[in-house]
């Protein structure tokens, strides 16, 4: 557990230095391995297939929040570092429209990690 948190911190630091797609993919995989998260599936959405939310706490008790999004147009997952209330806000709105909930609650965080697609 301690080694995986150290690895997580190193990957987070690496992402702030470089935003190569392989780094984003490795970081996403690391977050998914560290925390299974909560997944919201959107079977009828034209935009979003699923969104999973993850929380990671480091050795200094700092908690980081992430959303991993899969769009209906592709099988690639993208990771976003989001705010602490994003999961709650998204969960309240996604049944009315997963795409709209994404644009309102997750997309504003697209530039933090630099791992989101350009729309």
Residue 1 clears pLDDT 80, i.e. is over it: no
d(C-alpha 20, C-alpha 54), whole Å: 22
Helices (H), the chain: 2-17, 21-34, 86-93, 98-105, 110-113
Cα torsion 6, 11, 12, 14: sign: positive
pTM of structure: 0.81
pLDDT digits (tens, 9 = 90+) for 5-64: 555 555 555 554 444 456 899 999 999 999 999 999 998 888 899 999 999 999 999 999
- Model pLDDT, residue 45: 86
Residue 81 binned pLDDT confidence (cut-offs 50, 70, 90): very high
Residue 78 clears pLDDT 90, i.e. is over it: yes
Q: Could you tell me the residue ranges of all domains in the chain?
A: 2-113
């Amino acid at each position: 557990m301690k080694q995986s948190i150290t690895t997580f911190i190193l990957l987070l630091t690496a992402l702030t230095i470089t935003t190569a797609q392989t780094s984003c993919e490795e970081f996403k995989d690391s977050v998914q391995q560290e925390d299974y998260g909560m997944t919201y599936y959107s079977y009828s959405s034209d935009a979003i297939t699923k969104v999973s939310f993850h929380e990671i706490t480091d050795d200094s008790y700092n908690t980081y929040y992430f959303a991993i999004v899969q769009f209906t147009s592709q099988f690639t997952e993208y990771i976003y570092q989001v705010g602490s209330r994003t999961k709650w806000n998204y969960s309240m709105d996604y049944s009315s429209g997963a795409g709209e909930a994404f644009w309102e609650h997750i997309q504003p965080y697209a530039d933090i990690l630099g791992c989101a697609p350009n729309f």
